Amino acid sequence: MNKPEVVITHHAVSAKHHTVEDVDQWHKQRWPNFKSNMGFWVGYHYVIDWDGSVTQTRGLNEEGAHTIGMNTKSIGVCFMGNFDNHYPSPEQMESWDTLYSELRDDFNNLPTFPHRSYATKSCHGGLLEDGYFQDYFQKTTLIEKLKQIIALYTQILSLRRMK
C-alpha cells in the first residue's frame, strides 16, 4: 500500500523518441511479477513522454518500483529523455504543471524531489538542479496569478474610463 508523502522525479535516460511503451517493456523484463492494477509493469506512477503525453501506469495507492526505500510513500513521475544531455521539452513541462497541480490538490501540497535525493544517481538529470520541477511549477503558478491580477486591474481601469 502506498501512502504518498512526496513526488519523486526521474528521467528515463532514454532517447527523446522512446515512450511509455518502451519503459513498460524494460520494466517487464526487470520485474516480471510486478504488474500494476492498471496493466503496466512500469514502476513509476506516471510517465510523461517527450510530446507531453501523460500516462498513469500505477494506482496512486499502489506501491511503486522507482526509489528504494520510498516506494510505499511516494509518487514516481518519469520524464522520457536524458536530462544529463538535454532539458525537458516545453510540452513535458506544461504537462508537469497540470499533473503536479492535481497531485498537490489531492495530497495536500506534496513536495517534489529528484531521485538523487534518495540514491547515488544523477537522476533527474545532471543539467537540472534539485528544485527544477518544483521551481518551474511555482514560477508558472505565480505568472498565472499575475495575469489574473492584470486582467482585474485592466477591467477596473476600463470601468473608470467609462464614467
- In a domain? residue 66: yes
| Integer CA distances (angstroms), 133 to 56, 78, 93, 128, 152, in order | 18, 12, 8, 9, 29
Grid cell 528515463 in the structure block, residue: 12
Q: Is the pLDDT confidence value at 4 over 80?
A: yes
- The proportion of the chain whose per-residue pLDDT surpasses 90, expressed as a percent, equals 80
- In a domain? residue 117: yes
Least confident of 24-28, 94-98, 141-145: 141-145
pLDDT in tens, 48-98: 999 999 999 999 999 999 999 999 999 999 999 999 999 999 999 999 999
Q: Is the pLDDT confidence value at 111 over 80?
A: yes
Question: If you average pLDDT over residues 105-134, what whole number do you get?
Answer: 92
Domain total in the chain: 1
Evaluated on CA atoms 121, 41, 48, 21, the torsion sign reads: positive
Mapping DSSP onto H, E and C, the string for the chain reads CCCCCEEEEEECCCCCCCCHHHHHHHHHHHCCCCCCCCCCCCCCCEEECCCCCEEECCCCCCCCCCCCCCCCCEEEEEECCCCCCCCCCHHHHHHHHHHHHHHHHHCCCCCEEEHHHCCCCCCCCCCCCCCHHHHHHHHHHHHHHHHHHHHHHHHHHHHHHHC
- In a domain? residue 82: yes
- In a domain? residue 52: yes
pLDDT of residue 55: 98
- In a domain? residue 101: yes
- In a domain? residue 1: no
- In a domain? residue 116: yes
Q: How far apart (Å, rounded) are the C-alpha atoms in residues 36 and 11?
A: 20
Q: Is the pLDDT confidence value at 144 over 90?
A: no
- In a domain? residue 86: yes
pTM of the predicted model, to two decimals?
A: 0.87
123 is in which domain, residue-wise?
A: 6-162
Which CATH number belongs to the domain containing residue 84 in this structure?
3.40.80.10
Mean pLDDT score of the chain: 93
